[in-house]
Chains A and B, each alone.
Chain A
């Protein structure tokens, strides 16, 4: 049970002991959570409902490029695509572009005047294995360059070693470094091993001040799965009941098909309800997903199955 709101008051300095909220979280029934997550993927969503769901998934998409070879040209092109994913007017812009800090100014310039936000990974992404001041500097710089949202990674090694308070402090310090920028906390669930630890990590992140919790960096398999997303959604639900605060959710990594996107929307709807079906509280982190969704929309519009050859690659 969360004893207090959990808004971190900044990094704990070497001065004096501090008290922490209760991190304990209920254990997760592995079999049932996988069963329920899979069952929620079996809905038949057709015609108008499918089109509405696909359009919503585009509006919730964090169009992502996180490669070592990312260039200003590629990011600019991706920004154009995020602002206008398709020629047809009913297709909305994506929610955000997600890039490395160095490319934030490029994205900011390309997206000027649009509704598309700039999200930047930071804190020594993807491993998070750097000194805290280096990580915080990374965050402050990304914010100074214009990032609206920061996607931080937690130090999984520390969490697996049981250093929960350290994770809490780092998240709280990062939240402070973000200033007005929104903070998404990447748990990298593929490295945590158990659903129990995912649930606990979610709890720590939310108590420490995360605006969003996010499954994965996309650099580790397994990345987002429906089951792990369901565990995190349930943590968000219980946190809401306990504190009245609405925390956002972002599954990322391995979401490539329109069908998967709809599956995640069903998970959100069934766990958290309509209030969370907005880009302010739910995002899909993906790079290749957008084309598949656009192809499905074209299939619905024309009645003919589409080919990737007719859609821009980046």
Chain B
């Protein structure tokens, strides 16, 4: 019956507004979001219960929003899951890792508007925010392409004076700790992490302190992509507080530091001595992150691989 009635009115102009149907939309309470960090594929608050307040210029009355303020123990928990994820991630075929990265680009594309809006709320103009988001997604596509190609570039067949084949191939290192640059908050984080995970490592990222919220929005896209839990772990907090713990951790194989003060970098390098961590610092200006040619060079992947040389009797 109701169907027939619908059919009758379908042709008529849809002027019937809600009130005519007897429906008055109620006044709504605002539904505010609790931003959470991504650790091991799970959304978590800081175990410490601490929060950092971030401005929310788009809200009425200029209220602030809370983002988690990670503690030493959050770092510890993240390292445990990152290490647990490493075997599975590095054990996948390079081709499969490339497919998963491409899937991540698909997920980001669907959330393009939300990511751009978050960058705006973090202080960017609308046009810049849109550009950064687009470039960031393209960056993921670039590294998806690199996933099964960099090996051939870094490998070599070495001439040796003896009856041996001698060849060198890249392998992943393990858990890599990353301090993302303050700006660009989204492109910088992805640009730093992508070469690391493309090589089969797993990563713990300390997000930009200028716009930590965008990293957490990104975390929601990471969690819904096919990326296994624990491959990228996103923490928000203070790098000066957390980096020394990451640098001392015996399970962390390497550090990638962006825009870190020389004093803090030095402190990290000293703490990294305990297990001979590889520490790389990378200070490029904001514009350089947008330069597709420079920022997608396979040399960025090469920074976090271990080269393995194999001697094999050739019988000749």
Flag whether A309 is at the interface (Cβ < 8 A).
yes
Contact A303 B248 (CB under 8 A): yes
Flag whether A241 is at the interface (Cβ < 8 A).
no
Contact B248 A310 (CB under 8 A): no
Interface residues in B59-79 by Cβ distance below 8 A to A read: 76, 79
Q: Which of A302, A305, A308 contacts B76 (CB 8 A)?
A: A305
CA distance A309 to B275 in the complex (A): 11
CA distance A302 to B248 in the complex (A): 10
Flag whether A306 is at the interface (Cβ < 8 A).
yes
Residues in A with CB closer than 8 Å to B83 are: 307
Known: A309-B250, A310-B250. A304 touches B274 (CB 8 A): yes
Residues in B with CB closer than 8 Å to A306 are: 250-251
Residues in B with CB closer than 8 Å to A304 are: 248-250, 271, 274
Count class of interface residues, chain B? 10 to 19
The smallest beta-carbon distance between B29 and chain A, in angstroms, is 34
Contact A307 B248 (CB under 8 A): no
Residues in B with CB closer than 8 Å to A303 are: 248
Residue among B76, B79, B251 with most chain A CB within 10 A: B251
Flag whether B111 is at the interface (Cβ < 8 A).
no
Residues in A with CB closer than 8 Å to B275 are: 307, 310
Q: Total interface residues on A, using CB and 8 Å? A: 9
The smallest beta-carbon distance between A313 and chain B, in angstroms, is 15
Contact with B along A265-309 (1 / 0, CB 8 A): 000000000000000000000000000000000000011111111
16 new A-B contacts at CB < 8 Å, known A303-B248, A307-B83: A304-B248, A304-B249, A304-B271, A305-B76, A305-B79, A305-B249, A305-B251, A306-B250, A306-B251, A307-B249, A307-B250, A307-B275, A309-B250, A309-B251, A310-B250, A310-B275
- Overall SS of chain A's interface: loop
Interface residues in B211-260 by Cβ distance below 8 A to A read: 245, 248-251
CA distance A303 to B79 in the complex (A): 16
Contact with A along B265-308 (1 / 0, CB 8 A): 00000010011000000000000000000000000000000000
Which residues in B have some Cβ–Cβ distance to A below 8 Å?
Answer: 76, 79, 83, 245, 248-251, 271, 274-275
Q: Nearest residue in B to A295 (C-beta to C-beta)? A: B250
Residues in A with CB closer than 8 Å to B251 are: 305-309
CA distance A310 to B252 in the complex (A): 13
Residue among B245, B250, B274, B275 with most chain A CB within 10 A: B250
The smallest beta-carbon distance between A260 and chain B, in angstroms, is 15
Interface residues in A44-88 by Cβ distance below 8 A to B read: none
14 A-B pairs with C-beta separation under 8 A: A303-B248, A304-B250, A305-B76, A305-B249, A305-B250, A306-B250, A306-B251, A307-B83, A307-B249, A307-B251, A307-B275, A309-B250, A309-B251, A310-B275
Nearest 4 pairs of A and B residues by beta carbon: A307-B250, A304-B248, A307-B251, A305-B249
CA distance A91 to B274 in the complex (A): 22
Q: Nearest residue in A to B271 (C-beta to C-beta)? A: A304
Residue among A305, A309, A310 with most chain B CB within 10 A: A305
The smallest beta-carbon distance between B274 and chain A, in angstroms, is 6
CA distance A306 to B80 in the complex (A): 10
CA distance A310 to B249 in the complex (A): 12
The smallest beta-carbon distance between B20 and chain A, in angstroms, is 54
Residues in B with CB closer than 8 Å to A309 are: 250-251
Residues in B with CB closer than 8 Å to A305 are: 76, 79, 245, 248-251
CA distance A165 to B82 in the complex (A): 52
CA distance A303 to B274 in the complex (A): 11
CA distance A307 to B249 in the complex (A): 8
Q: Nearest residue in B to A306 (C-beta to C-beta)? A: B250
Residues in B with CB closer than 8 Å to A307 are: 83, 249-251, 275
CA distance A309 to B274 in the complex (A): 13
Q: Nearest residue in A to B274 (C-beta to C-beta)? A: A304
CA distance A309 to B79 in the complex (A): 14
Q: Nearest residue in B to A310 (C-beta to C-beta)? A: B250
CA distance A96 to B79 in the complex (A): 33
CA distance A306 to B251 in the complex (A): 6
